[in-house]
Every structure is written in structure tokens, then in C-alpha cells.
């Protein structure tokens, strides 16, 4: 299965600023997924990132707030823009194992974001 | 909205005991997956069971799936302190193969 390097692992940011999270995969993958996990909650899908096209955002998430780049088949970034304390969460990237996740999904180690 | 819901929300047991967690879901699925998360870190894929399977084993893990009841269970046998983590079930739904996660069960195994 793929190995994902995600960074930073954690950060404390001032409100109104932006943070860019990076995920590097050790193999080429078609789709990459970005999730948010609010404290004590489940994972919520933010968007799906395809190389060479705009990301597809889930309901409640918009590109202006969470711009995503996918410059090649092994790399993606998620930016959390104009942060507020409500953005304090763990952010995770993920890739599918096998066709349409038929072997499960691999996750990065997560970025724990605290906005003060 | 969550597709899968785990039960119980929290479970505390002694080392050596078995731990059972349940997951219920609402709509038909192609597969159901279980993941472990240690201390708010990344999720680790444990096991995937397809809708035409009823039981699957992996080491000390045993997963069952009852599609008629729309439920699954994860059994960890002979638990160890290192099994302390949150466990999530994830299902695909509505024709989308992208997994939707439940709220998770927090398992504490006391040495």
C-alpha cells in the first residue's frame, strides 16, 4: 500500500492567517482525498482532488476557504484560509488502495491545527 | 451525515479480555471497513469486508457483517494495552465508493 508523508504534523496559528498542509505519496495515485476531524468527532470529507482538474468539494466546504492544489500524481496541498477558532481540527489526506478503494484507504499522519 | 454509527462510544477493558464494537448503517453498501486511530493521528486500515461476505479474520481481529440488519461488529481477542485507540467503521453509500465514517468507539485497554 502507498505511504503518505503529511506535514506539518501540528501547528498553532493566529486567527485570520492561512496554513498550507502538504501530502506527498510514494506512488502515483489518481485521486487524493482531504478530510477534517473536529475534536471528538468523525471524519468529514472536505474534497476530492484529481490531478489536472479542480477539486470537487463536499457540501459545506468551498474553494475560497479550502483551496486545494494537485500539481502531479504524487502531491497535493490543502490550504485553510482566513482561519478562525472553529477551524481547529485534525486535517487528513488519504488515497485509495486498489480500484475504488477495494483494499481500503491509506491516510497521512494528520495535521493537528489549533487556531487562537 | 454519518452513514455508520459505532456502539459503544467508549469501552474500557482489562488486558487479555475481548473487545467488541458494533457498527450500524442506513443504506445498502458495497463494502464496510474498520480503521484504528491512535491519539488523533492518521487512520490505519484494519480490514475490509464486502457485502457478499459474512465474516473475515485478520490476526486477532474478527469482523462480521449482517446486511439484513445493516450492522457489523469488530471483535479484538486477547486485547493488549497497545490496542488502546479509537476504532471507526466506514461505509460507502449512495453509489459513491468514497467511505463515510462513523463517530468511532474509544477503546481503553488497561494493563
For A40, residues 6+ apart whose C-beta sits below 8 A from its C-beta are none
pLDDT of residue B4: 72
**The pLDDT of residue A93 is above 90:** yes
**The pLDDT of residue B1 is above 60:** no
- Pick from B41, B99, B103: CB nearest A101: B99
User: At A85, phi and psi to the nearest 5?
Assistant: -55, -25
Which chain A residues are closer than 8 Å to B90 by Cβ? 105
Closest-CA distance of chain B to residue A58, Å: 12
Strand partners, B44: B36
**The pLDDT of residue B93 is above 80:** no
The answer to whether the Cβ–Cβ distance between A104 and B43 falls below 8 Å is no
Strand partners, B12: B108
Strand partners, B86: B37, B106
pLDDT of residue B97: 79
Average pLDDT over residues A96-101: 72
**The pLDDT of residue B108 is above 80:** yes
Average pLDDT over chain B, rounded to whole? 91
Q: For residue A100, what pLDDT band results from cuts at 50, 70 and 90?
A: low
Average pLDDT over residues A91-97: 92
- CA-nearest residue to A40 within chain B is B103
Closest-CA distance of chain A to residue B98, Å: 8
Judged by a CB distance cut-off of 8 A, whether residue A108 touches chain B is yes
- Pick from A42, A105, A112: CB nearest B103: A42
pLDDT of residue A99: 67
Contact (CB, 8 A) for A32 and A70: yes
Judged by a CB distance cut-off of 8 A, whether residue A100 touches chain B is yes
Judged by a CB distance cut-off of 8 A, whether residue A51 touches chain B is no
pLDDT of residue B25: 92
Task: Report how far residue A80's alpha carbon sits from residue A106's, in angstroms, rounded to the nearest whole number.
Answer: 22
Report the share of chain B in percent with pLDDT over 90.
Answer: 75
Q: For residue A97, what pLDDT band results from cuts at 50, 70 and 90?
A: confident
Judged by a CB distance cut-off of 8 A, whether residue A14 touches chain B is no
User: At A101, phi and psi to the nearest 5?
Assistant: 65, 25
B interface with A, Cβ–Cβ below 8 Å:
2, 31, 33, 35, 40-45, 47-48, 88, 90, 92, 97-104
pLDDT of residue A101: 67
Contact (CB, 8 A) for A13 and A114: yes
Contact (CB, 8 A) for A12 and A114: yes
**The pLDDT of residue B58 is above 60:** yes
**The pLDDT of residue A54 is above 60:** yes
Amino acid at each position: 500500500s502507498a505511504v503518505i508523508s503529511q506535514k506539518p504534523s501540528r501547528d498553532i496559528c493566529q486567527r485570520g492567517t492561512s496554513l498550507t498542509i502538504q501530502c506527498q505519496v510514494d506512488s502515483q495515485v489518481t485521486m487524493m482525498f482531504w478530510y477534517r476531524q473536529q475534536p471528538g468527532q468523525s471524519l468529514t470529507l472536505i474534497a476530492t482532488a484529481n490531478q489536472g482538474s479542480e477539486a470537487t468539494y463536499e457540501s459545506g466546504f468551498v474553494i475560497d476557504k479550502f483551496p486545494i492544489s494537485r500539481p502531479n500524481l504524487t502531491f497535493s496541498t490543502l490550504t485553510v484560509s482566513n482561519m478562525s477558532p472553529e477551524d481547529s481540527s485534525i486535517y487528513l489526506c488519504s488515497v485509495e488502495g486498489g480500484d475504488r478503494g477495494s483494499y481500503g484507504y491509506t491516510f497521512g499522519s494528520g495535521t493537528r491545527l489549533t487556531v487562537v | 451525515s454519518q452513514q455508520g454509527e459505532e456502539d459503544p462510544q467508549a469501552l474500557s477493558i482489562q488486558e487479555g479480555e475481548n473487545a467488541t464494537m458494533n457498527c450500524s448503517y442506513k443504506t445498502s453498501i458495497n463494502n464496510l471497513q474498520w480503521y484504528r486511530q491512535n491519539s488523533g493521528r492518521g487512520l490505519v486500515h484494519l480490514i475490509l469486508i464486502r457485502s457478499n461476505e459474512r465474516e473475515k479474520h485478520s490476526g486477532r481481529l474478527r469482523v462480521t457483517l449482517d446486511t439484513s440488519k445493516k450492522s457489523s461488529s469488530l471483535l479484538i481477542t486477547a486485547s493488549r494495552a497497545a490496542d488502546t485507540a479509537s476504532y471507526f467503521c466506514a461505509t460507502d453509500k449512495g453509489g459513491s465508493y468514497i467511505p463515510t465514517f462513523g463517530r468511532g468507539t474509544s477503546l481503553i485497554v488497561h494493563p
